[in-house]
Amino acid sequence: MFTGAMVALVTPFKDGEVDFQTMGELIDFQLESGIDAIVPVGTTGESPTVSHEEHKRIIEFVVKQVAGQVPVIPGTGSNSTAEAIDLTESAKRFGADATLQVCPYYNKPTQEGFYQHFKAIAEEVDLPIVLYNIPGRCGAGMTPETVIRLNDLENIVAIKEATGNLDQASAIAIGCDITIVSGDDSLTLPLASVGGKGVISVVANIVPADVKAMTDLILEGDLVSARKWHNKLFFLAKNMLGLATNPIPLKAAMSMLGMASDEMRLPMVGLEDSKKQILRRTLKDYGLLD
């Protein structure tokens, strides 16, 4: 359930509201492309700017649309443990297969605080948990020792590693058997060299079959062949995601490709016109635009 190509699904908006029709079309595209799991309402899904009511409606919608074809792993984390439990309980009620739990942000817990936060969620809701370690977004992150300690809890089963630090991933892999997946598209293959089993991918929103081709080879142990896909995907990931904060460039790309609107909610704004030219050239170089 927690390996391979998993898409960090965007949340499309139309006139200020969640565009469920387009979301359904995007889900169908992912399923037709063979994606291994769908991860809605995470960072890429703009969870900070959807209301709690919208958050729950999105989870319910995605679970129904997917209809058991692949696992659904919604983001239900928060910097409030009580809120994270509430969202996670809702995800379980709607039939989600697991949840993605980001490290509490802004309030910067101690390592003991991280442990007690995730322990409380794990004990309160009987649903598999994928930890999400991304200190660049949260202001603080977990050490390998904390992750290893958390892995002793029965339903903490995987971690989305987005620290960009292979030493961190190596220490986790050596210290426990938690499943490690990449949170950075450009690092999926390097992470595989120290035990990574896939990616929760941003670029899979537009090229899911290519991301899956790479992760399938990784899971087969053929890292040499996987490197060909890494080389193809690398500049798409780096050039697109390096232009502005995710998901701004992704939504701009999806708009150019006719997949979804580039509408954002404040404080996120659309991609600058000068950067759109770079993005368009990147999509052309990849073969996605004429």
pLDDT given at position 128: 98
Distance separating alpha carbons of residues 154 and 151, to the nearest angstrom: 7
Active-site option among 132, 197, 212, 251: 132
pLDDT given at position 16: 96
| Residue 106 among the catalytic residues | no
Q: Which CATH superfamily is domain 4-218 in?
A: Aldolase class I (3.20.20.70)
Distances in Å between the alpha carbon of 183 and those of 82, 132, 176, 272? Answer: 25, 8, 19, 25
Q: What is the mean pLDDT of residues 3-32?
A: 98
Return the minimum-mean-pLDDT range out of 141-145, 166-170, 239-243: 239-243
Q: What is the mean pLDDT of residues 78-98?
A: 97
Distance separating alpha carbons of residues 166 and 99, to the nearest angstrom: 24
When the pLDDT of each residue in the chain is averaged and rounded to a whole number, the result is 96
pLDDT given at position 139: 81
Closest CA to 127 of 78, 48, 72: 72
Closest CA to 96 of 144, 125, 136, 60: 60
Q: What tokens appear for 277 in the block?
A: 């030219």
- Domains of the chain by residue range: 4-218
Helix boundaries (H) for the chain: 20-32, 52-66, 81-94, 111-124, 135-138, 144-150, 166-175, 188-192, 208-220, 223-241, 248-256, 273-286
Q: How confident is the model at residue 140 (pLDDT cuts 50, 70, 90)?
A: confident
Active-site option among 56, 160, 197, 276: 160
Q: What is the mean pLDDT of residues 242-268?
A: 97
Q: How confident is the model at residue 289 (pLDDT cuts 50, 70, 90)?
A: very high
pLDDT surpasses 80 at 179:
yes
Closest CA to 242 of 198, 208, 279, 289: 279
CA 104 to chain centre: 16
pLDDT surpasses 80 at 256:
yes
Helix (H, G, I), strand (E, B) or coil at 206: coil
pLDDT surpasses 80 at 251:
yes
pLDDT surpasses 90 at 34:
yes
pLDDT surpasses 90 at 138:
no
- Kindly report whether the global pTM for this prediction surpasses the value 0.85: yes
| Residue 160 among the catalytic residues | yes
Strands 129-133 and 198-201, sheet pairing: unpaired
pLDDT given at position 15: 97
**116-125 per-residue burial string, b: 16 or more CB within 10 A, e: under 16:** ebbbebbeeb
